Each structure stands twice: as C-alpha cells, then as structure tokens.
Structure 1
C-alpha cells in the first residue's frame, strides 16, 4: 500500500539509511550529496524558502552531525549558503569554493585528463576544439574543463565524425536566472555584458557567500554568475576584487541565446506600435522606438549595414516586406506593402554611419535618395493611395530617422 512520509520521517531518512547500511556491512558510511543547494533555488523560486531551510537543517544535522554510522560526508553545490545556518553545529566542517586552491583538481577535468580522454578515443585532433568550447574554468590557480560537456562531446563525436561542438548547458534551468538578470538590468549592466560578449573583461567585487535571498539584489549578479560557472576570474586584484571574463565558447553561446531571446521578445512587443507610427508619418515616434529597441540590444554583432537591414526586416515581418527590389532609377532597401491599395506604402533607405555625428546627415541622404530615384512615385503609379519614405541611418546602438513624403 502507498504511504506518505512525514517531514520528520524525511528529515531523518539519510540517518536511518546510513545506520541500516552500517548494521548490514559493519562499515561506517560515506554520504555524498550533490547539488545540495538546488532545493534551495527551487524553494526560493516557488515561495517555500523558509520551510526548505528548516528541512535541510534538520536533514543535515541528523545525518551528518548526530550519526554514529557516518565516516564522512561530502557535499557539492554552486553557492556557499552556510549563512542560512543549514549546517549549524556540523563537526570539522570545511568549505572550498572556486576561489580556493585546496581540492581544485576535483571540480572537473584537468588538461592532462582531457588529453588522455581524447587519446583513448582517437580524438586527439579535437583538443583545440574542446579547449575552445569547454575549458576556461579556473578553480584557484588551476584551469579546469567542464566534465559533463567534455564527456557529452566525446560521446557524440565518436558516434558521428561530423559532429560539431554545441552548448550542452543550453537547456538547463539556471539559464532562466541569466535571462531574469538581463530583463531587470539597467543600461550600465547591459554595457558591461556587452564588454564581456566582445571578449573584454570587467572588474567587480565578489561576495563568496551568497544566499538565494540575495539573488534579487542586482549588486550580487556577478558573484552569482562567477559561482555558478557563467564567468571566470582571471585575476585577483586584492580583497574581494576580481577581473572577470566569459570562460569559453559554450557559455558565450548561452549568453548569446539568452540575449537574443530577450531582445526578440522585447522587439516583438513593439512591432505593432512601430508599424502604426511608420504609416502615420510620425518621424519622432519612429526615432524613439527604434533607438529604444537598439539600446536594449547587446552589440556582439558586426556593425554593418546588412545587420540593420535584417534588424528592420525582423521588426516588420508581420507585413509584406519587399527587400532590395528594382524600383525607379535604382534600388530601395525596404518596402512595406499594405493589405489594400487604400493603405500606406512605407519605403525605407538604410545607411550605416561611420560615427554618431554623421547620423543626421546620412539619414537625410537616404531620404533624398528616395526622392531622387522616384521610389514614392513608382508606388503611386502602381495604384497605392498613400506613400511615405524614410531615410534611417545607424551607428552601433543609435539611429536617426528622416521622413520624406514628397511626391
């Protein structure tokens, strides 16, 4: 018959199991607890944090403190959450983080171990590829490879010689916290992420002991990202100050996917408004909307005209978009067609400015190009009732919009 265990039963379960094993095998037991902090994360996200703290305190105390059957206990996790007192009273308790040298070789694979692993499977030629994607973690002074991702790569590579590296972290639950930080961050935070995405470093104060209660504090974001493997400390500058970078290609791809997802969602929510302002001829509003969307992006892309062309196509793809079609005496960049000839045609000429000072002049050049090449006139000749043109110039995360409706 089925039976539901009480909290008290669960709190003493590890102790009961270990004592039963001791009685049977006549040897003291080693208790291994992996990801001990994951229940805390789930409890925090689902509003039963205090209850989980109390439960884990009882569980660990009964199994690791008052347990004659225990030889030793080893626990692993991302955050050192001793401040929550879940380890109260544990005897001879030692804690080692990614910033410590003690036991650093046990957190993952060393270079020598990865070289041997690849050699065993005749994959030595893939060492540079594995290093680029899955190396880069630093525990104390030692470089460490991600063990799960390295093993996953080998598993797929020996089955398929054409297999290319991927981010095996891509669908893990902790990535949602990265997206959460991106959404709640201000312009300064996005600029710092942009530095990281462009291969640069940032310098931050790191708090080695964090609780999940402190995760909502934006000042702790870099501590959390370092302790959970999304950043790497390459230099200790004294006290609690560290120089940080993205550790490897795998994590870079996670950031990239997270930023693109956030950016797409934000831009998508403004698509309809942008289109309405375009067909209404509200030059100022179009300017504000496009600049707002661009400022929320992360500039890991090439600063090229082709990117901005695709950027506009993506924002307007709920409508019929004609791109680079022959028109008049030249080629326009974009034409957004209405559902009916009674609607408004929007023609856009994109320009890539060399600097911010050139934005206005380049947008004017684009608007005049629309006039000169008679793009508006051709649309009217096709039977459309209303036509509006825009010259839009871009430089990095800024743009300038100039309207032309001269016919």
Structure 2
C-alpha cells in the first residue's frame, strides 16, 4: 500500500465506522457502466460539505487491487440494488492499480506550479518504481514514463483526483500556472489506453477558455447538471427522513433549514414523451446539505453550521461586486424571490467575471444558491444559507437596497387594491429621492422585479 499508488481502504473504512454513515455506494454502479468506455472520464463538482472526499475514498476502496474490500461492499447498496442484467456489482472489485491524489497536497501559494507538478510526478513515479522495479523511466517525462509502467504491468489504472480545482482557488491570478496545470492533466490522461477510469472531484466545473473546456474528454456532473449522479449530489429526502426517525428529529425543521437544492437526474426513456408534454417531473430530486444534516441530527440542534467550512466574508466579497443589477437581485433573492440567469458565459473560475450572471453562477457551485434548470432561475435554498446572506449584508451599503425593496412591496400592495392615493404618494416619494440622489435607477429596478 502506498501513499498515492493503491492507498487501500482505510479512509473509507473510517467513514463507515462513523456513528452516522449514509450509503452512497450505488455511485459505483454508474462508474462500472462507463469504465473502459469513451465516457470513462468523470468530473464531479459540488460545494464544500457535500461528501466529495468520502466518495473519492469509497472509489479507492472499491477499485484498489490491494484493498481486499469485498466485506465492506457486499452488504451495501451497490450489491443489494445492483442490476445483475447489466453487470454483477463486483465485476471490477479490487481489479485495478489505483492512484489517488489530493491536489491541495501539491498546489501551494508559495511554490511555483511547475515545481509542484514536478514534485507530484516524482512521488508517483517513485511509488510505481517500487511496485515495478524492473522498469526504467524518465523522470522528466511523466506521461511517457506512465506508458512504460503500463507496458510492463499490463494493468490499467483508476485515477482519482480530489480537489482537482485547488489551483483556481489557491492561485487565483496565476493564469500561466493554471494553464500549465491543465496541460499537465490533459497530456497525462487524454486518450490514454492505461486509463480505465479517471474520476475528478472539486468545487468548480472544468475551466473554460472562451467557450471551450480545457479538458474536453471529461463528462461533467455539476450542481447545474448532475445527470445520472443527481442522487449522489447530497442527502436525498428518504435518507434524511430515515435519519430523523432514528434520531427523533422534526423532519419539517430539517427540511426548512438544510433542503432546497433541486437537481435533475436523467429522464427515463419510458417517461420522455410525458416529460415533453409537461406531465413528468420524477427526475427532479430534492438534495440536502449533508454535513449540516449530520451535525443537526447528532447534536439535536437546528442551527447554522455553514461557518464551520466557509467564512461570511467569502459570500460578502462576491455579492458586493459592482455589476449592474447584482445587489438588486440579491435583495430580491433575500425576500424569497428567484432570478433568471444565463450560466453559459461563466468561465468556471473564481476571478473571471463579466456580468452579474457570472457571479450568481459561481454562487450555485459554492452552494449559496439553488438552481432550477427548467426555468434557469436561482434562489436561496434554505434557512441556513439565508442566515449567511443576512450576516453578509449587514453593513450600511445594503440599507438603501432593502428600504427600496420594502417601498416597492408597498407600492405593489396598494396598486393591487387600487388605492390611488397611496400609489401617488409612493411614486412622489420615489421621484423626490431620485431628484435628490442618483439612485432612481436602483429603485425603479427593484420595483420592476417586485
């Protein structure tokens, strides 16, 4: 067992030994269906607290040829719910050389990216050489050396990369380093016979340059389009109901505080005509924030657990950006509204923003906003996230926006009941404020949204 090559099952064993463990082993059935196909490149992006690392540990434990993990999986959902007509659940159990990387171990603020990649290459090649000592390799040519080890062993690899997007979060402005990193991954993995499965997980989808993905061989399963992996994005309703029953928790409170993420699975072939007719929504799944649910049911306390993994300043920094209409949209969202956005221009990083839609798209991937892919609208998903928004908008720059929204609601109410005097008074008040301060556009924008 190595640190990177065939790291074993211990990490996953620790997870299932925990007091609260929710079985997501069914994910492996999907991976088994794409292994050694053109769809063998899988990129999964989710917010923090949504179980990315546990999934990576689980995949290691299943595929690692040294792990001897049948006992772990044989009574799990992968075995009990597996469709034997497709393939046996254990068809790939402990069959592959497995490489597991956590990119935050290598990408550092004070280390040049080229040096970080050399360190990564050196460590993996060193472990491969320990396993296959007869192979001579070139330390300066990682991809070619990998090919040589494969030619000797005839064993394919399952390659698991956790925190794959660390470079875009740790070295935000290092465009040169980011390109070197993406080129490294592409040269190592793309169209390589030794890759049985490549599984990457992180917060951000794969970085775009213009309209194109830098790693276009990957199928992406994100918060806006999780497809077949929708039920593995977080905890499902049935999983949370079961936890509430075991731990004597009020399900409605848990739902109010930690639910709200709606994701879309693939529409079954037999239901697609009904879907086209607007008569089928069975592919839409409610997803709950896993870590918050675990904290709540284990402690018995319904409260905001978000600040254990995120600071309020992170959200505040994004929503105060000076993009036309952004603060008005945030005000509307905080009052229970939803906002239609275009996610296509977002470049899948944390610095390239050209409009408010790019900011709001990032907030989907960070878990601050839910996304309805039927209407292309964003919304604040639950009480926990609303609490984060409230703290992040406490400074005085937001006061005018909230007051304007309150007035717009008044105007809407009196317009609805045809109280022409109140409507006239409010319009005059807006006009007077616009005459004294250059904020009439702000008020009128919020009124229009309301």
Task: Please indicate the TM-score interval, normalised by the length of the shorter structure.
Answer: 0.5 to 0.7
* Matched residue, 2:167: 39
In 2, the alpha carbon distance for the partners of 1:222 and 1:118 equals: 32
* Matched residue, 1:250: 384
Q: Is the 8 A contact 1:11 1:58 kept in 2?
A: no
Q: Which one has the largest radius of gyration? A: 1
Corresponding position: 1:221 with 2:359 = yes
SS in 2 for 1:32: strand
Deviation at 1:83, TM superposition (A): 2.0
In 2, the alpha carbon distance for the partners of 1:208 and 1:217 equals: 9
CA, structure 1 residues 145+295, in 2 after alignment: closer, same or farther (shift >3 Å)? same
Corresponding position: 1:97 with 2:225 = no
Deviation at 1:180, TM superposition (A): 2.1
Q: Is the 8 A contact 1:202 1:244 kept in 2?
A: yes
Deviation at 1:144, TM superposition (A): 0.9
Q: Is the 8 A contact 2:206 2:215 kept in 1?
A: no
Corresponding position: 1:190 with 2:327 = yes
* Matched residue, 2:199: 74
CA, structure 1 residues 8+189, in 2 after alignment: closer, same or farther (shift >3 Å)? closer
Higher normalized strand content (fraction of residues): 1
Deviation at 1:198, TM superposition (A): 1.0
Q: Is the 8 A contact 1:84 1:211 kept in 2?
A: no
Deviation at 1:108, TM superposition (A): 0.9
CA, structure 1 residues 223+113, in 2 after alignment: closer, same or farther (shift >3 Å)? same
Deviation at 1:149, TM superposition (A): 1.6
1:321-365 CA distance string (max 9 Å, x none): xxxxxxxxxxxxxxxxxxxxxxxxxxxxxxxxx87837999xxxx
Gapped regions of structure 2 (runs ≥ 5): 1-110, 134-152, 265-283, 409-421, 430-441, 444-450
Q: Which has the higher contact order (CA 8 A, sep 6+)?
A: 2
* Matched residue, 2:237: 111
Instruction: Return the TM-score normalized by structure 1.
Output: 0.54
1:289-309 CA distance string (max 9 Å, x none): xxxx74154779899xxxxxx
Q: Is the 8 A contact 1:104 1:142 kept in 2?
A: yes
Deviation at 1:139, TM superposition (A): 1.9
In 2, the alpha carbon distance for the partners of 1:356 and 1:11 equals: 69
SS in 2 for 1:51: helix
Deviation at 1:13, TM superposition (A): 4.9
1:8-407 to structure 2, matched below 5 A, reads 8-13=117-122, 15-16=124-125, 19=128, 23=132, 28-44=156-172, 47-59=173-185, 61-62=187-188, 64-65=189-190, 70-84=195-209, 93-100=218-225, 101-120=227-246, 122-123=247-248, 125-140=249-264, 141-157=284-300, 163-169=301-307, 172=310, 175-185=312-322, 188-207=325-344, 210-212=347-349, 213-215=351-353, 217-234=355-372, 236-237=374-375, 242-260=376-394, 263-264=395-396, 266=397, 294-297=399-402, 357=425
Deviation at 1:256, TM superposition (A): 0.7
CA RMSD, Structure 1 to Structure 2 (Å): 4.1
Deviation at 1:59, TM superposition (A): 4.6
1:158-212 CA distance string (max 9 Å, x none): xxxxx23224246515x54431233223673222211111112222222275232
In 1, the alpha carbon distance for the partners of 2:158 and 2:123 equals: 11
Deviation at 1:6, TM superposition (A): 3.5
Q: Is the 8 A contact 1:28 1:71 kept in 2?
A: yes
Q: Is the 8 A contact 1:108 1:146 kept in 2?
A: yes
In 2, the alpha carbon distance for the partners of 1:17 and 1:217 equals: 46
In 2, the alpha carbon distance for the partners of 1:27 and 1:189 equals: 52
Q: Is the 8 A contact 1:14 1:59 kept in 2?
A: no
Gapped regions of structure 1 (runs ≥ 5): 158-162, 267-292, 304-353, 362-396, 399-407
1:60-95 CA distance string (max 9 Å, x none): 643x348776542211223323424998577x5322
SS in 2 for 1:95: strand
The count of corresponding residues between Structure 1 and Structure 2 is 266
SS in 2 for 1:184: coil
Deviation at 1:252, TM superposition (A): 0.7
CA, structure 1 residues 73+256, in 2 after alignment: closer, same or farther (shift >3 Å)? same
